[in-house]
Amino acid sequence: MIDLHTHSIFSDGVLIPAELIRRCEVLGLDAVAITDHADCSNIDFIIPRIRAAAEELNHVSQVRVVPGIELTHLPPALIAPMVQKARALGAKIVIVHGETIAEPVASGTNRAAILADIDILAHPGLITEDDVKEARERGVFLEISARKGHSLTNGHVARLARELGAELVLNSDAHEPEDLITKRWAEKVAIGAGLTAEEFLRMIRNSESLIG
């Protein structure tokens, strides 16, 4: 199991990276991306610290640690330049906080994120068919979320992805220890979204492809 969307104390998570990764190790995960929330004010602070943690932990942990970032509540016009900045700072996984129905995310965020060639569009809410098609063409992965609130539109995302040929990944969006998921729980989330066991395994392979 690979989880490419988790948070530490560098944004609104409650765990330092070492404890986050230790708990993932106990749960049997193979790889985890730490993708703390960022905007223009803190991206320079967060990414170097996640990179430093990943470098040290990868020497000793059974879980591969991937440095990432989740660009969150940015005005759509700022997304593309911030994606470039995140990559320049060394983020291996760039996520954008999509138009979840659980929060007042700016309209147009999904589209701007996809056009910026991010890796994963997190919890994209009631994403449009046109945006799903664009994600397919650009190789942007759409997220099936295990997080409360954000998961309410999983069925919509899964259905459009299946109909239109876009690729999916499944992540925890963990902020606290109880948010972390096992492979078994992740499969239940996938099935609850209307996906098959085979489609769940495809999501795992998609996550593997993102980290090489």
Please give the pLDDT value at position 56: 97
110 phi, psi to nearest 5 deg: -55, -50
Angle at which helices 154-164 and 129-138 pack, to 10 degrees? 60
Please give the pLDDT value at position 91: 98
- Note whether 18 and 174 are within 8 A (CB): no
- Note whether 120 and 143 are within 8 A (CB): yes
Residue-wise pLDDT for 129-160, tens only, equals 999 999 999 999 999 999 999 999 999 999 99
Taking the C-alpha atoms of residue 128 and residue 114, their distance in angstroms, rounded to an integer, is 12
Please give the pLDDT value at position 77: 98
Question: Which pTM was predicted?
Answer: 0.98
Query: Looking at the 3D structure of the chain, how many domains does it have?
Result: 1
Please give the pLDDT value at position 66: 98
| CATH number, domain containing residue 134 | 3.20.20.140
Residue 102 belongs to what domain range?
Answer: 2-211
